[in-house]
Structure 1
Amino acid sequence: MAASSHSIGIDVHAVSHHFDLSGADLPVLDSVDLKVEPGEFVALLGPSGCGKSTLLRLIAGLEPPAAGAILADGQPVMAPDPSRILVFQDPTLFPWLTVRKNVAAGLEARGVLARERHRIGQALALVGLERFADAYPHQLSGGMAQRASLARALVHDPSLLLLDEPLGKLDSLTRLALQDELVSLWQRTGFTALLVTHDVEEALLLASRVIVFSDRPARIKAEFAVDKPYPRHRDDTELVHLRREILQALGLSLS
């Protein structure tokens, strides 16, 4: 598959958000400012339920922020767009469709399947699922199902990939393998990546910058540049030091 025609830069300006729970407002985001450069890989860390996934949904255009603005390449984000694709923790594949037809579903929904059909095979090749194109979701392992979910996103040739803990439910060995594959996909296709994770090591292995959020309502507490070449190694002394600093920013400490 050819690289994305361009990567999207994202500007989050003073974004606040809340949910309406039985008539009462539950604040989720509190005046968040975040700039993501085109082609950057940024990881978001913070306590569970602080608002990280909500921020991804707002950037994806699934709902508007209660206050503030989100810009993609300088244009307001008003609705979902195939250039900005959100990948969830669960693969959410259609169980009655083969892997190939799952990957094709988005193209069909957009009315571009006839013109873009060649992208299906390219996307499956990118994630190593060519031999499983005619398999059904129940025949896939967890890692393979998540690869299929990634292929379903990559078939649109997105300029921004929003990753909401996509490896969170995988076993440790599969997770390690897919971490390497995510970096490889990012390097080959050139998309901008924004990853929500609870795994500090994962953030350090994948991202060029790590953003740490506070408890809900989320504010940015700290950010860390990860200026290390790929592939990275967990026992790298600089990464070990950064891990300690990030854990401290999260309110944790190592004895």
Structure 2
Amino acid sequence: MVAAVIPESSTDALAHARRGTRVDVRGVSHGFPLRGEALHVLDNISLTVEPGEFVALLGASGCGKSTLLRLVAGLDAPERGEIRADGEAVAGPHPSRVVVFQDPTLFPWRTVRDNVALGPQAQRRTRGDAARQEAKHDVARRIDAALDMVGLSAFANAFPHQLSGGMAQRAALARALVNNPRLLVLDEPFGKLDSLTRIRMQSELVRLWQAEGFSVLLVTHDVEEALYAANRVIVLSERPAHIVAEVRNDAPYPRHRDDPGLVSLRREVLGLLGLEA
């Protein structure tokens, strides 16, 4: 895991100074049919993610966090309410909003580099021949920069089965970053990693967010992870989820997990989740 400051040559290719997306969720309720009955999942959710802000959605498993994330990403449409990105209604997926799931979902027959290249390759196919040639060199630079940022340059030609769990998740992050996201949507991306790798990946994510300036919406049920990474933690109730509290976290970066302020916030959040003991 690379923890050094990113060299300027790498960040140039990925628009270091770009501005993150503003997300507005207003009065969103949502549910699913289940065995002939309606399953109410989200109940009148309203929240805002400011440009460049890191926000964590925290709640028990099954409370509706991932459902809200899918709505923000445009993968599903809400039954009621609206979601806007930079003032425009979210009507479907968009390249500026990139999702990283718990499973890296790398194609096993493609190298790390070729997995990272999937997004740019798909975009190139929609252009004319001249535009494709012009973009080819820029795409190669963006792929190199993304691999460098997550510390996988030396593994560009490796296949997924040759990677550890943490390396595979870093490859998934590189695949997201190469698309120049303005909003990174993360659905418990480190949930299946061992504890040490998870800690390293949390630090890596914060480093990339600070370097790139995109907005982040992280879904997690890990209180410590939420407080370590986010500027603000949205605490959700059991299903159907509504917002219990918004906890502001002004602790400076880099953060230390045993910091008394974070320990106090952790106790507060556990209380909000009904886990005081």
Equivalent residue for 1:224, pick from 206, 229, 247: 247
Query: 1:170 is matched with which residue: 184, 193, 197?
Result: 193
Unpaired runs of at least 5, structure 2: 1-10, 126-131
- After TM superposition, the structure 1 stretch with the greater mean CA deviation from structure 2, 17-26 or 179-188, is 17-26
**CA displacement at 1:4 relative to structure 2:** 5.6
What CA distance in whole angstroms lies between the structure 2 residues aligned with 1:48 and 1:168? Answer: 12
TM-score by length of 2: 0.89
Looking at structure 2, the residues matched to 123 and 38 of structure 1 have their Cα atoms a distance apart, in angstroms, of: 22
Secondary structure (helix, strand or coil) at the match of 1:32 reads strand
Given the alignment, which residue of 91, 111, 116 partners 2:104?
A: 91
Paired letter, 1:192:
S
Amino acid across the alignment from 2:24: D
CA distance in 2, matches of 1:47, 1:151: 29
Give the whole-Å Cα distance in 1 for the aligned partners of 2:122 and 2:28.
31
What is the number of residues matched between the two proteins? 254
2:95 aligns to what SS in structure 1?
coil
Tell whether the 8 Å contact from 1:247 to 1:253 is kept in structure 2 after alignment. yes
Please state if 1:128 is matched with 2:151.
yes
**Pick aligned residue for 2:63 from 35, 42, 50:** 50
Structure 1, gaps ≥5 residues long: none
Q: What is the CA deviation profile of residues 217-238 of structure 1, one whole-angstrom value per residue up to 9, with x for unaligned ones?
A: 1100011100011111111111
Whether the 8 Å CA contact 2:18–2:212 is kept in 1: the answer is no
Residue 16 of structure 2 aligns to a residue whose secondary structure is: coil
Question: Is 1:239 aligned to 2:262, yes or no?
Answer: yes
Per-residue CA distance 1:124-154 (angstroms, 9 max, x = gap)? 0110000000000000000000000000000
Deviations 1:65-119 (A, max 9, x none): 0110000000000010010001001100001100000000111122267512321
**SS of 2:148's equivalent?**
helix
Partner Cα separation in structure 2 for residue 109 and residue 200 of structure 1: 37
Which of these residues, 105, 114, 124, is aligned with residue 101 of structure 1? 114
Query: C-alpha distance in 1, partners of 2:37/2:124?
Result: 41
Contact 1:8–1:72 (8 Å) recurs in 2:
yes
Q: CA deviation at 1:186?
A: 0.2
1:3-18 correspondence runs (5 A):
3=16, 5-18=18-31
User: Partner residue of 2:223?
Assistant: 200
Equivalent residue for 1:24, pick from 37, 48, 60: 37
Q: Pairwise CA RMSD of aligned residues?
A: 1.1
Return the alpha-carbon distance in structure 2 between the equivalents of residues 247 and 22 of structure 1: 34
